[in-house]
Amino acid sequence: MSEPAEAADAVVAAIHSGDLAGLRQLLGDHPPPEQVSEAFLARPLRRATPRRRIPLARGADPNGVPDYAKGTPLDAAAGQGTQRDNLIGWLRDHGARPEQPNA
């Protein structure tokens, strides 16, 4: 496995385990954009947690579409029946746009 792929895997593992100190260390002050966006999209969004805030603060793309999804994080948060107004507002405050027109 290549070094960037290993680093990305380590970031995703820190996200999944909730290791915030490890996540901060792995991302550093100036992480590559693709790595930080992958960290932001590593888990389905449920709420605006530190696991989301850290990558976003380091430049994650709030409009990225992960391989497992059919839309942006805002599309997922605005889905029918989710009632995630706080998450929707937080994503919009950070520049997120829906890919799907009705989100």
Boundaries of every domain in the chain: 3-93
pTM over 0.75: no
Q: Determine the pLDDT at residue 5.
A: 63
- Two tokens at 51? 């696991």
What DSSP string describes 57-97?
HTT--TT---TT-SS-HHHHHTSTT---HHHHHHHHHTT--
Q: Tell me: pLDDT of 48 over 70.
A: no
Condensed to tens digits (0 to 9), the pLDDT of residues 71-92 reads 888 887 776 555 577 778 888 9
Residue-wise pLDDT for 6-46, tens only, equals 777 787 788 778 888 988 888 887 777 777 777 677 665 56
100 vs 63, residue with greater confidence: 63
